[in-house]
């Protein structure tokens, strides 16, 4: 029988599960969890008999760290093996200001199948549970206690596992626990229409990024097959509705593929799609993954000039543009590379 997992439960839910224990013991256990305990044995202010009882009836953390890679730019990538053998990857990203961000996965594999993403070529195994999602954060924090931000941008499509993600975020944002601000959490989606409406109506009220990549409908359907059911007009309508409900800027992410989606037509259509939305455009020059092709030709990273010209065209159209620099390239830990090693 699978033991219930304690890490990942907000304090109130943990108290319900451990209702047979005195409330002050539950508070102690919760404090140990959010402070980073990796085993019941580490909870040294609990009686030995209680620690043994907990170990018999419960599991502390979901998954076991089975691999760890460190890049020269300080990016850390963990491979975490779940009880059924599924392996997912999670990453710690460091920016120039020293800020540490946890990049979490929501699925083992991915059903979306984006041409330019390694995870999309792995196929889909299953959704992760709430404890498996939030457990990644706890595993990462044992490596880097100073993590302050979270991006739901790892393996999988978050809006196809929204119920479990909500539970995981309840733990991460719990005021009595980790208390991570909603302003420090970003969800990245390929644009699942139903999920965007669900976010607008039921939350959580966190930052939203949409992997748009191109506003050429035919090209987007070929690069991102799930967009055949989640069309660009429907996506635009959903985002307009979302911003009416959630007064927050949306990030439109554009993975730039050399010679494919960086022309003048592309920048013009992005500007047209953005009209009426409060957006910021985040350019992501494609992070190389060996063996990925489009139209029987290997994908390639755009040149610096190609990227600069495209960025200038977007800015000329009145859009605010930023560029994401590939952190973790040396360990296949950058955007689109998870599952490569």
- 18 plus 76 within the same structural domain: no
- Provide the residue range defining the domain that includes 198: 64-331
The Cα–Cα gap between 56 and 40 comes to: 10
- 319 plus 193 within the same structural domain: yes
pTM exceeding 0.85: yes
pLDDT tens for 167-225 read 999 999 999 999 999 999 999 999 999 999 999 999 999 999 999 999 999 999 999 99
Q: Is residue 309 part of a domain?
A: yes
Which helix (H) or strand (E) segment is 202 a member of?
Answer: helix 193-202
- 25 plus 82 within the same structural domain: no
pLDDT tens for 268-314 read 999 999 999 999 999 999 999 999 999 999 999 999 999 999 999 99
Instruction: Count the alpha carbons within 13 Å of 13 in the hemisphere toward its beta carbon.
Output: 15
Q: Is residue 104 part of a domain?
A: yes
CATH number at residue 300: 3.20.20.70
The pLDDT score that the predictor gives to residue 341 is 56
- 25 plus 117 within the same structural domain: no
Q: Is residue 270 part of a domain?
A: yes
Q: Active site includes 229? A: no
- 51 plus 83 within the same structural domain: no
299 Cβ contact list (under 8 Å, min separation 6): 115, 116, 257, 258, 260, 286, 288, 289, 292, 293
- 155 plus 180 within the same structural domain: yes
- 43 plus 170 within the same structural domain: no
Q: For residue 85, give Cα distances in angstroms to 80, 168, 192, 338.
A: 9, 21, 28, 17
- 120 plus 242 within the same structural domain: yes
The pLDDT score that the predictor gives to residue 340 is 62
Of 89, 157, 164, 313, the active-site residue reads 89
- 181 plus 290 within the same structural domain: yes
Number of domains, the chain: 2
The pLDDT score that the predictor gives to residue 96 is 84
- 142 plus 102 within the same structural domain: yes
The Cα–Cα gap between 156 and 312 comes to: 32
Q: Is residue 47 part of a domain?
A: yes
Q: Is residue 3 part of a domain?
A: no
The token pair at 61 is: 């953390």
Q: Is residue 147 part of a domain?
A: yes
- 232 plus 307 within the same structural domain: yes
Of 11, 103, 110, 335, the active-site residue reads 335
Q: Active site includes 114? A: no
Q: Is residue 1 part of a domain?
A: no
- 261 plus 318 within the same structural domain: yes
CB 155 within 8 A of CB 114: no
Residue 69, pLDDT > 80, answer yes
User: What is the average pLDDT score of the chain?
Assistant: 96
pLDDT tens for 1-56 read 689 999 999 999 999 999 999 999 999 999 999 999 999 999 999 999 999 999 99
Average pLDDT over residues 89-117: 95
Q: Is residue 4 part of a domain?
A: no
């Amino acid at each position: 029988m699978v033991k219930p997992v304690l890490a990942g439960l907000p304090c109130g839910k943990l108290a319900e599960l451990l209702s047979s224990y005195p409330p002050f013991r539950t508070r102690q256990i919760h404090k140990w969890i959010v402070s980073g305990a990796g085993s019941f044995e580490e909870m040294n202010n609990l009686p030995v008999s209680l620690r043994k009882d907990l170990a018999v009836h419960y599991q502390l953390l979901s998954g076991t760290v089975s691999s760890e890679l460190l890049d020269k730019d300080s990016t850390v990538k963990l491979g975490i093996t779940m009880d059924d053998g599924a392996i997912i990857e999670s990453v710690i990203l460091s920016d120039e200001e020293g800020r540490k961000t946890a990049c979490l996965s929501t699925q083992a594999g991915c059903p979306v199948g984006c041409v330019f993403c390694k995870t999309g070529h792995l196929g889909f195994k299953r959704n992760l549970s709430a404890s498996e999602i939030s457990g990644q954060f706890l595993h990462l924090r044992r490596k880097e206690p100073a993590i302050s931000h979270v991006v739901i941008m790892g393996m999988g499509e978050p809006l196809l596992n929204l119920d479990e993600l909500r539970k995981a975020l309840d733990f991460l944002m719990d005021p009595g626990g980790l208390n991570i601000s909603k302003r420090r959490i970003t969800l990245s989606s390929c644009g699942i229409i139903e999920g965007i409406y669900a976010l607008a109506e039921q939350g959580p009220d966190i930052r939203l990024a949409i992997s748009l990549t191109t506003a050429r409908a035919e090209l987007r359907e070929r690069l991102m097959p799930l967009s055949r059911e989640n069309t660009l007009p429907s996506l635009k309508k959903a985002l307009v509705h979302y911003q009416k409900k959630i007064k927050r800027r949306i990030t439109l992410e554009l993975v730039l593929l050399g010679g494919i989606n960086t022309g003048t037509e592309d920048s013009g259509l992005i500007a047209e799609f953005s009209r009426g939305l409060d957006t910021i455009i985040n350019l992501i020059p494609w992070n190389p993954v060996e063996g990925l092709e489009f139209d029987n030709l290997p994908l390639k990273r755009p040149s610096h000039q190609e990227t600069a010209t495209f960025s200038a065209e977007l800015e000329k159209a009145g859009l605010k543009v930023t560029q994401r620099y590939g952190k973790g390239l040396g360990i296949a830990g950058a955007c689109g590379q998870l599952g490569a090693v």
